[in-house]
Amino acid sequence: MKKSLVFLSLITAAQFSLSAQQPTFSRPANIEDVPVYRLQVVFTTANTNDDSGTDDKVYVQLNSSMRPYYLDYGIDDRERGTTKAYDIVEPSVRFIRDIKQLNITKVGNDGWGIKKVELRVNGYKVFEKSYGTPHIIDGNEGRQPTLNFTSSQLRGSLWSYSRVPNIHIPPLTISKADLISMVEGFVGNYMRYIPDATVNWGDKNGINTLFGPAVEASYRNRQTLSFDLDLQVSKEGPNPELDIDFDLVVSCTNGKVLISAENGKANINFLSKFRVEKVELDLGKYLNRTFNVPVCNAHFNSDGSLSFL
């Protein structure tokens, strides 16, 4: 009997300790004041004609201060009949109120047929527009290369606590796949702004510059997740391969979870252009959290996921 009581007491103590670490999140009175922990735009490309898929560059803008954000992953983007979610790591969108528009622009004359557009905040769908007949954006044949949604168009029935009551609660764990998507989305956009160089994802055409997925992550220890990027640089000698490695390091300071990008290196002298500190600035802000827990224990799990508790 005494052993049972001791065992029960230990379980109760453990449960209390665990519950004491669980943060609570107060919901702002106005959904517009909810912090943005994750921002995604999702496209379904039509599968009806030659103007369905496109290889042209596409960018979005969510407010007037946001420079074009290019949607470019290390895959064949916008293939016919596919749906793809793009992570947008954008420091100008800190709260839902910062989303003033959704402007979609395609560069070039390879038409793109859009079947559906979605906007997701913190993992929740807050806007959706579907087309019975694909909406084609293009730069020729009398079509417009843009598709724009105003603030009032975005703020429909999905944009309310009644439809997304838990949108204010950030995830307590981020999977490795989601971390890779965030990094890939950030790098795909960042490449377009590297000065004096044309940088693209690696591929297997001609000289092979792609070895596995374009973005890979591996667990090093509880504080470190290591990333490997397979890129290529136009006119960079006989071999255009650009391999960049860096670490995401998690730490805690006064209950605040801090993410930093460290130990950047490249196979060619390119880090002066590919600024790892820019990765740290934007991606770090995107992932940093402040939780009201007595002890901060943020860490990477052995499966590569990031746990905030």
Q: What is the pLDDT along the chain (309 residues), one digit of tens a residue?
A: 444 544 444 444 433 333 345 677 889 999 999 999 899 999 999 998 766 888 889 999 999 999 999 999 998 889 888 999 999 988 889 999 999 999 999 998 888 999 999 999 999 999 999 999 999 998 887 788 999 999 999 999 999 999 999 999 988 899 999 999 999 999 999 999 888 888 999 998 888 889 999 999 999 999 999 999 999 988 656 778 889 998 999 988 776 788 888 888 888 878 777 777 777 677 767 776 666 556 778 899 999 999 988
Distance between CA 29 and CA 37 in Å, rounded?
Answer: 18
Burial class, 210, CB count within 10 angstroms (exposed 0-12 / middle 13-18 / buried 19+): middle
Q: The dihedral of CA 269, 274, 277, 279: what is its sign?
A: negative
- pTM beyond 0.85: the answer is yes
Q: Please, what CATH class does the domain formed by 31-154 belong to?
A: mainly beta
pLDDT recorded at residue 266: 86
Question: DSSP secondary-structure letter at 27?
Answer: P
Distance between CA 257 and CA 249 in Å, rounded?
Answer: 10
